[in-house]
Structure 1
Amino acid sequence: MVFKVIEDECIACGACVPSCPVDAISEKDDGKAVIDASKCNSCGDCVDICPVDCIKEEKGCC
């Protein structure tokens, strides 16, 4: 399981970026977060820290 930022809900606060122990989260030019799925270890730390609950489990196809 990996996590995804719901871009329309992200308020660009940056709280999730330092919470990621594997540096899978970065900020785009507009300040909104993006998660690199290839680096995400599914720890969920970002989910716990997000003040607007915009980080969700990315659903697989199967």
Structure 2
Amino acid sequence: MTPDQVPRSHGYGVRLDPETRRFRVRNEMTGEWLREPGGEIASFTFFDDAYNAWRQFEVHKRPGE
């Protein structure tokens, strides 16, 4: 995913890339994307998997915690 593709993704933290129908995880505090060991942006088929990865990736106090 190149920087010019990022605005097509929708959501906060867990973003849906409508073209690939895959979820991607972004740390909204730092702006960095969760990446695979090879350097590519990680993608998830299921929202729950992406959400769990996001909770580990963007660690800060959230409402109710």
Same fold (TM over 0.5): no
**Relative contact order, higher structure (CA 8 A, sep 6+):** 1
Pair member with larger Rg: 2
TM-score by length of 1: 0.23
TM-score by length of 2: 0.23
More helix by share: 2
